[in-house]
């Protein structure tokens, strides 16, 4: 897949990694916006000031943003500090107003990304502009929806496009507000190598104590930027108080980051890496050969089940099998979640193969 995407360095002059976007979850008052922007300006790492103008809340009768008035405050903050500005747009009307007040970068939120109609309406408004657009992942772990939203924005002629990873909602209780599921942004980056990838650790964390470690993880997998909610008095914030940090805390987080490079100038290291990767390649080929052999056996089992009218899915067998594999994996030093996900996928494919054989047999009858 190929989209015409302008590198992040062409959007932001004199860019150094990571690009830092910071500011309050919500614009609350003019004083709050201006004071926060000036405080963030003191931090050379911060290049873009963010604030929510419209807040998509789950339930009514809660603070849903100050609206158009806040855009005037953002314009003043930009004029006084020189920081670029960005805000979320969820409707075509939001996008029109943001353009009117000179917002530099727009972002599309998780709830909006999940609605192709809304994304297309925003894309239609942006045709003929050159404004950069960042697209957050949808609430649910759906790579196709995320990719589709990006394609709709690109279809409007926008070339300065980036993605924001903010984690995914989950019914399972975890340490995070939104489960990061890092493999999904990694896969999106694999599909679109030129796409700038920015992490929103605030929404992944849900609590400020986890923000720093998530920032480091984002850097470890070579994400290009961070969007961190920053408030002068986080505990008094009108929205998402628990996940916002102070400007001083932001500085500490950024200073503590360990930035790594994709390649090394050390030729001995690169030679060692090539040798180890060659071993991995051989093992991967052995895995593929083993999976092919397993598939052939599964097919034979499927034929036998079809002939004897036995269902492809046998829950008791599946449970016992998984328990055994988890035990074997533990003995081999493998993480239980890794083993479970691997064999869930293998078993799902086995059931698919056997179901197809069963259905083929029914059609013949």
Q: Token match 């019914």: residue?
A: 171
Q: What is the DSSP string of 194-229?
A: TS-EEE-HHHHHSSGGGHHHHHHHHHHTT--EEEEE
Query: Which class for 32: exposed (0-12), middle (13-18), buried (19 or more C-beta within 10 A)?
Result: buried
pLDDT of residue 279: 87
Rounded Cα–Cα distance for residues 247 and 23 (Å): 9
Name the helix (H) or strand (E) containing 86. strand 84-88
271 or 215: whose pLDDT is higher? Answer: 215
As a whole-number percent, the residues of the chain with pLDDT over 70 amount to: 97
Domain ranges in the chain are 8-256, 267-364
The predicted model gives 324-340 an average pLDDT of 91
Q: How far is CA 159 from the centre of its chain?
A: 20
Structure tokens at 98: 């943001």
Torsion sign (Cα): 63, 68, 72, 75: positive
Which pLDDT does position 363 carry in this prediction?
A: 53
Cis peptide bond N-terminal to 49, omega within 30? no
**Least confident span in 196-205, 238-247, 281-290:** 281-290
* Mean pLDDT, residues 150-179: 94
For the residues of 97-135, what is the DSSP string, one character each?
Answer: HHHHTT-SEEEE-HHHHT-HHHHHHHHHHHTT----EEE
What is the CATH number that goes with domain 8-256?
3.20.20.70
Q: Does 267-364 carry CATH code 1.20.59.10?
A: yes
pLDDT of residue 278: 84
Mean pLDDT of the region 119-136: 97
Query: Which of 186, 237, 185, 168 minimizes the C-alpha distance to 208?
Result: 237
pLDDT at 162 over 60: yes
Residue 364 scores a pLDDT above 60: no
pLDDT of residue 263: 65
pLDDT tier for residue 78 given thresholds of 50, 70 and 90: very high
């Amino acid at each position: 897949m190929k989209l015409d995407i302008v590198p992040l360095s062409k959007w932001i002059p004199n860019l150094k990694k990571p690009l830092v976007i910071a500011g309050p979850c919500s614009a609350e008052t003019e004083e709050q916006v201006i004071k926060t922007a000036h405080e963030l300006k003191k931090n050379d790492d911060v290049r873009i000031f963010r604030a929510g103008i419209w807040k998509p809340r789950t339930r009514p009768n809660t603070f849903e943003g100050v609206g158009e008035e806040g855009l005037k405050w953002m314009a003043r903050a930009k004029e006084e500090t020189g920081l670029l500005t960005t805000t979320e747009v969820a409707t075509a009307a939001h996008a029109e107003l943001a353009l009117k007040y000179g917002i530099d970068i727009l972002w599309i939120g998780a709830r909006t990304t999940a609605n192709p109609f809304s994304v297309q309406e925003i894309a239609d408004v942006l045709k003929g502009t050159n404004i950069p657009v960042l697209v957050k992942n949808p609430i649910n772990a759906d790579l196709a929806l995320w990719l589709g939203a990006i394609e709709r924005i690109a279809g409007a002629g926008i070339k300065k496009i980036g993605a924001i990873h903010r984690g995914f909602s989950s019914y399972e209780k975890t340490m995070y507000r939104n489960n990061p599921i890092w493999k999904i942004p990694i896969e999106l980056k694999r599909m679109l190598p030129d796409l700038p990838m920015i992490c929103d650790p605030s929404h992944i964390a849900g609590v400020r104590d986890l923000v720093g470690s998530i920032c480091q993880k984002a850097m470890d997998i070579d994400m290009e930027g961070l969007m961190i909610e920053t408030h002068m008095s986080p505990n008094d914030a009108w929205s998402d108080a628990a996940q916002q940090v102070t400007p001083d805390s932001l500085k500490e987080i950024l200073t503590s980051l360990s930035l790594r490079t994709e390649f090394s100038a050390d030729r001995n290291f690169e030679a060692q890496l090539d040798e180890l990767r060659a071993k991995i390649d051989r093992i991967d080929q052995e895995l593929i050969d083993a999976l092919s052999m397993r598939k052939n056996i599964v097919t034979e089992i499927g034929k036998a089940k079809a002939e004897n009218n036995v269902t492809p899915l046998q829950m008791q067998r599946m449970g016992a099998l998984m328990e055994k594999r988890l035990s074997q994996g533990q003995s081999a030093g493998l993480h239980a979640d890794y083993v479970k996900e691997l064999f869930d996928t293998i078993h799902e494919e086995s059931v698919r193969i056997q179901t197809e054989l069963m259905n083929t047999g029914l059609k013949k009858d």
